[in-house]
Copies of this chain bind each other. A is one copy, B any other.
Amino acid sequence: MSHQDASASSPSSSLSPVPVGAYDPPYYAVVFTSVKTQDGEFGEYGATNERMEELVREIPGYLGMDHAGSPGGLSVTVGYFRDADAVEEWRSNAEHLAAQKRGRAEWYQRYTLHVAKVERSHSFERNHRFEHGHG
């Protein structure tokens, strides 16, 4: 995560995104894969998403989030958490539950959620000739 802050604030970087790094296992990865409806009302979708990003950062044990997607295509979001308690706190957050309900009612055609305990992780960074692994 420190990489992210560093490159985001660096003027010489061309601001390429930085994936969440390899933490010491065990930790949790929550994989959310979704496809949006074609006829939904998305007026409040963006604001809701931003609010969820703000909220999740308040969860003790939240480690970071990776997101990729293209309009009309599959969207993949992976949230990382220190332990199962942190995942549960996020899952059962009242505002998050309300947003999930709205997502099912208005925004998502389909989605899958996989809650998984990371056993091994590894990261690579070219410029630093950096390679770092756990597990």
Contact = CB atoms under 8 A, between A and B. Distances in A.
A59 interface: no
Interface string A91-135: 000000000000010001111111111111111111100000001
Contacts of A3: 74, 110
A29 interface: yes
Contacts of A108: 124, 126
Q: How many A residues are at the interface, by size bracket?
A: 35 or more
A119 B116 contact: yes
Interface of A: 3-4, 7, 13-14, 16-22, 28-29, 31, 33-35, 37-38, 66-70, 72-76, 78, 80, 104, 108-127, 135
14 contacts: A3-B74, A4-B73, A20-B112, A29-B31, A29-B114, A33-B68, A68-B74, A78-B114, A109-B125, A110-B126, A111-B123, A114-B120, A115-B120, A116-B119
